[in-house]
Amino acid sequence: MLKTLTLLGSTGSIGKNAVKAARRLGLEVRALAAFRSVKEMEAEAREFLPRVAALYNEDAARDLRTRLADTSVKVVGGEEGVLEAAATEADCCLNAIVGVAGLRPTLAALGAVKRLALANKETLVCAGSGVLRAARERGVEIIPVDSEHSAIFQCLQGAPRPRRIILTASGGPFFGRTAEELEGVTVTDALAHPNWSMGAKITVDSATLMNKGLEMIEAMHLFGVKRENIKIIVQRESIIHSAVEFEDGAVVAQLGIPDMSIPIQYAFTYPGRAGTETPPLELEKIGSLSFSVPDRNTFKCLALAERAADAGGAACAALNAANEVAVGRFLAGDLSFPGIAETVERLSEGYSGDASPERALEIDAEVRSRAAGSRG
């Protein structure tokens, strides 16, 4: 088992679970990074005494520097500070930064670690080919942390190439609603996920089904499968986290209660396992599991993601940027829920072909500039 960690996004939902896993496993945390949560970062830094603690927000970093003046922790700020934390030598880096902001830290970490525990799906959505090539060249193994991709990864251990991947979705808080019924939903409605406790952005993505579209693109890169060989199915109870189908028709699935501590810790202990505080899965108490096909007509973001996947990496980078803009506007109260898909479609059109990490970041900037211009 690995002994040293770097935790990026350590104060978020995934990061807090990773901190608990590091504490439980007795791992040394060499670097921490987050956006601007000063009090949470101070507590983590005092517990683990990392070499580096980074906050992207410069004002927050200055505050943290004062708070930690009596320790040996080096406090850094801004994007360069986060990249310094990411490049700290360790056995493993968990990247749980939200959005395309996690791409550069991923690239920085690839030069400093043996294993990348990847919870930042945008890294592969926007620049999957280039990131995977860089990881291979540097001998870094990538262990997925998303519950679905962790499930697929676990199902494939010691197994041949799958014929098909079955990617499961909860369906989010609006499962079964019509387009008309989505017109007046609020931010509070969208954040009321029935099964998972997650950050605001990913929770909205789950509500629009964009999250499943992004996960589909990520799975294409991680497991080397074509889009037509990934079947998306709604599994409302979030007990089956995903499955793989082999040439002989056998289907192997990974089941568990909806608790992110399981895939996070597995990324740290792989190929072994360790105990967690997660309650056991009691299937007799669940009683039954339900399955259905996602409604792509009502939840258009999934169809937009499938279209982008067919068009190539540049379109995927544009899709992600447009979605980050649209979700941000929705959370700010400046856009209706149906307006998310409409905005994504408008802002992401016109891109095709592959994209290097550098080109993906250029596309991201182009889409955001287009979005800013369209607001007048």
The model's confidence at residue 251, banded by pLDDT at 50, 70 and 90, is: very high
Question: Average pLDDT of 166-181?
Answer: 94
CA–CA distance, 341 with 336 (Å, rounded to integer): 10
- Return the half-sphere exposure (C-beta side, CA atoms, 13 A cut-off) of residue 2: 28
pLDDT for 374 equals 73
pLDDT for 195 equals 80
The model's confidence at residue 376, banded by pLDDT at 50, 70 and 90, is: very low
Lowest mean pLDDT, pick from 14-18, 240-244, 274-278, 326-330: 274-278
pLDDT for 185 equals 92
What is the rounded end-to-end Cα distance, in angstroms, of the chain?
A: 53
Which tens digits make up the pLDDT trace of 41-80?
999 999 999 999 999 999 999 999 999 999 999 999 999 9
Question: Average pLDDT of 285-306?
Answer: 96
CA–CA distance, 217 with 124 (Å, rounded to integer): 8
Q: Which CATH class is domain 4-120?
A: alpha beta
Which tens digits make up the pLDDT trace of 106-154?
999 999 999 999 999 999 999 999 999 999 999 999 999 999 999 999 9
Which tens digits make up the pLDDT trace of 192-236?
988 877 889 999 999 999 999 999 999 999 999 999 999 999 999
The pTM assigned to this predicted structure is: 0.95
Domain ranges of the chain: 4-120, 150-374
Which tens digits make up the pLDDT trace of 321-366?
999 999 999 999 999 999 999 999 999 999 999 999 999 999 999 9
Question: Average pLDDT of 82-90?
Answer: 98
pLDDT for 375 equals 67
